[in-house]
Structure 1
Amino acid sequence: MDIRTEKPEDLTAVREVNMMAFGRANEANLVDRLRGIRSTFSFVAVQSDRIVGQVFFSPVTLVEKCSRELSILGLGPVAVLPKYQRQGIGTLLIQHGLKECVRSGFHAVFVLGNPNFYSRFGFIPASRKNLRCEYDVPDEAFMVLELESGALDNCSSTVKYRSEFSICD
C-alpha cells in the first residue's frame, strides 16, 4: 500500500472512489469543488497501481478570533472503495494526512464524524475547547485534534466550513 499526494491524472479515479464509497455523487462533487483551493490537501491510497482510497483536507475558519492567528483544516471526506473497506486503509490515509498537516505548520484539524473512530487519532469533542460547528450536529460528532499543544487555548468560536460545503447536489 502506497499513500501519496493526489496527482492531476488521479482525478477520475478519485471521483470513482468517492462515488462508490458513499453510493452517491455528493462527496465526489464536493472534492471536485474544493480541489485547487489554497491550503487543500488530497492524499490517495494506491494498491497494485489502483487508487483504492482518498482523504481530503480543506481550510476552515473561526468566526470569532482567538488570541492568536491559527491555520486550521477540516478533514473529510475519507473514502475507500467498498471492496477494500475494513482493512485499515482509511486509518493509513488519515495518519498520513495528519502528519503532513503537522509538517505544513497547521495548528488544528476538525472533523465531523464517528467519535469511536476518530478518537483513535486523538480527536476530542470540539466543545471541550469551547468551539462549535456552524451546522446543527451532535456535540460528540464534531471533533478537533490540536496539532500544536495548546493552540486552541483561549478560543471560543464557531467553526465555519467553506461555502462549497453548503452547495446541495
Structure 2
Amino acid sequence: MTTLRLRPEDPADAGPVRRVLAAAFARPDVATPPEVSLVDELRDTTAWLPELAMVAEYGGEVVGYALLTRVRLRPERGSDVPVLALGPVAVAPHRQRVGHGTAVVQAALDASTELGERLVVVLGAPVFYRRFGFGPASELGLTGPWAGLGEPWQALVLPPSTSEEGPPPRGEVLFPAPWSKV
C-alpha cells in the first residue's frame, strides 16, 4: 500500500517542487506561473526556513508542497516581530482532492508550532484555510499588501509552546521583495 510521506524539502527536491508548482498554478496566458519564481527567489533570502518548506511524497513522487517563510510584523509601537507567511501551497493536478494539500499544510503548521512560532498569515481560499483555524486577519488588527482583498487575507495564531500568552501584536505585515511580483 502506498502511503503519503510528509517531510521538509531537501535540495534534490527543487526540480520536482518546480514541476508541482508549475502544474498546479498553470494558466494559458503565462509560460511560468509567478509562484514558481517566488519559491526560487525566496530560497536565496533570509526569509527561507528550510525546515518549514514541506513536501508531500506519494509513491516516491513529490506531489504536494507547502511553504512557510519569514515575514515581519511591524506593530504600532516597538520593534518588528518575526512571523510566518504560508504560501504557495500546491498539489499536482493528478493528486488533488484526496487530502494531500490538507496533509502538507498541517505538517508545515505543526513544524512551525514545534519551533515556537506564534503567527501565520496567508492569502487564500477561506473555505480551505478555515479547517486549520485561519480567520480574517483584520480581526487580529493585521494589515499588509493584500489586506484590501478582504476574506482571503487570513491569519492563524499558533498555540504557544512556552509560557507566552496573550494576543499577538497588531500591525502591518511586511513581506520580502520576492513577494512583490505575485
TM > 0.5: yes
Q: Kindly indicate whether residue 8 of structure 2 is the aligned counterpart of residue 5 of structure 1.
A: yes
| SS class of match (1:63) | strand
Match of 1:54 among 60, 65, 74: 65
Task: Confirm or deny that 1:114 pairs with 2:125.
Answer: yes
Equivalent residue of 2:116, what SS? coil
Q: Deviations over 1:27-84 (max 9, x none)?
A: 1110000114345221101111110111111111123356686431000000110000
Mean Cα deviation higher: 35-44 or 140-149: 35-44
Aligned residues, how many?
167
SS of aligned partner of 2:41: helix
Amino acid paired to 2:95: Y
Maintained 8 Å contact 1:14/1:54: yes
- Are residue 32 (structure 1) and residue 40 (structure 2) matched? yes
Q: 1:20 to 1:110 in 2, by over 3 A?
A: same
Distance 1:106 1:32, change over 3 A: same
Q: CA RMSD in A?
A: 2.0
Q: What is residue 83 of structure 2 aligned with on the other side?
A: 72
Q: Which amino acid aligns with 1:90?
A: G
Q: Which runs of 5+ in 1 are unaligned?
A: none
Provide the rounded CA distance (Å) in 2 between the counterparts of 1:65 and 1:104. Answer: 26
Secondary structure of the residue aligned to 1:18 is helix
Identity of aligned residues (%): 34
SS in structure 2 of the partner of residue 3 of structure 1:
strand
Matched, 1:15 2:23: no
- Among 72, 88, 92, the residue aligned to 1:81: 92
Q: Partners in 2 of 1:136 and 1:62 — Cα distance?
A: 13
